[in-house]
Amino acid sequence: MKIYLDGKYVDQADAKVSVFDHGLLYGDGVFEGIRLYGGNIFRLDEHLERLEYSAKAILLDMPLSRKELTEVTCETCRQNQLTDAYIRLVVTRGVGDLGLAPWLCAKPSIFVIASKIALYPQEHYDNGLAIVTVPTRRINPAALPATVKSLNYLNNILGKIEARQFGALEAIMLNDQGYVAECTADNVFIVHKGELITPAASQGALKGITRGTIFDIAKELNVPIREADMTRYDIWVADECFLTGSGAEVIPVVKLDGRVIGSGKPGPITAKVLAAFRRRVLVEGTRI
């Protein structure tokens, strides 16, 4: 496997960062998870824009322009002869000393990995997930904005650990007010009386690229959609539920906290959304 690392395409065994890199020492950096479908990088420009916004929010200077980022991302896929892949693009603060001060890091580091990913077995796309609500709450947006896709993922990791302890593959995370924010790695949508509803970013939800695609798909399908405050109760009594993310794509949920959602099977609107998403991934984006 070839990995882009600070201007070079190197073998996987040679792709190394310093132990003094602040991305490792403090989680100081930003990243994007991007998908390649049939030689088409889905919504690459939107991902790169979000990466730039995340970097700007933490005062991290991007080492490459948008055009350069596009080229190295595409070239990493070409170097590995991939047509379908998961791409991880990471920008760290770079090498510094053992103090927190980011201004002592000489220059940021950037790397791009293009490989495979399978977050959930196919049976769960066919039959739906059974998920739980975990005790760990999402960090208040006033403390760490969820709109910044940073390397600080310990909050999500704790939620993922708790989900596994409860025997689930994914979990709902509430904010400090008790409203649904998102899952540990995915955005959440419900269908209620023919309407799609999802938590707002102000409640701690990441402004996911796939999440944004669902808004476009809803318009295409003439399905009403809105953001709203959502509690566990709203999911328990929903007609349908599904999760979205670059890794997960669109996956149905049929049970939360032991309560069956709707009929207990993936619903018709979820199926229509998934079919529309599958059509879009091959045409919306950047050809490698």
pLDDT tens across 154-212, in order?
Answer: 999 999 999 999 999 999 999 999 999 999 999 999 999 999 999 998 898 989 999 99
User: What does the domain layout of the chain look like in residue ranges?
Assistant: 2-115, 122-282
Which of 16, 116, 149, 207 is an active site residue? 149
What pLDDT, in 10s, does the model give residues 215-262?
999 999 999 999 999 999 999 999 999 999 999 999 999 999 999 999
pLDDT confidence band for 146 (50 / 70 / 90)? confident
On the question of pLDDT at 119 being above 90, the answer is no
H/E stretch holding 233 reads helix 232-236
Of 139-143, 185-189, 271-275, least confident by mean pLDDT is: 139-143
pLDDT at 20: 98
Predicted confidence at residue 88, as pLDDT, reads 98
Q: Are residues 171 and 223 in contact, defined by beta-carbon separation less than 8 angstroms? A: no
- For residue 256 the two structure tokens come to 């939360």
Q: Note the pLDDT of residue 117.
A: 82
Query: What gap in Å lies between CA 180 and CA 201, rounded to an integer?
Result: 11
What pLDDT does residue 130 have? 98
| pLDDT value at 16 more than 90 | yes
3-class secondary-structure state, position 232: helix
E strands, the chain, are 2-5, 8-11, 29-37, 40-42, 85-92, 109-115, 129-133, 171-174, 180-183, 187-192, 195-198, 225-227, 240-245, 249-256, 259-260, 285-287
pTM of the predicted model as reported, rounded to 2 decimal places = 0.95
The mean pLDDT value for 122-134 works out to 97
pLDDT at residue 29 is higher than 90: yes
CATH of 122-282, picked from 2.130.10.10, 3.30.1360.170, 3.30.70.20, 3.20.10.10, is 3.20.10.10
Out of 3.90.105.10, 3.40.630.10, 3.30.470.10, 3.20.20.540, select the CATH number for domain 2-115: 3.30.470.10
Q: Is 149 a catalytic residue?
A: yes
Mapped onto helix, strand or coil, the DSSP state of residue 277 is: helix
Is residue 108 within 8 Å of residue 96, measured between CB atoms?
no
C-alpha span between 262 and 145 (Å, rounded): 33
Please give the order of strands across the beta sheet that includes 40-42.
Answer: 8-11, 2-5, 109-115, 85-92, 29-37, 40-42, 285-287
Domains 2-115 and 122-282 share a fold: no
Count CA within 13 A, CB hemisphere, residue 100.
0
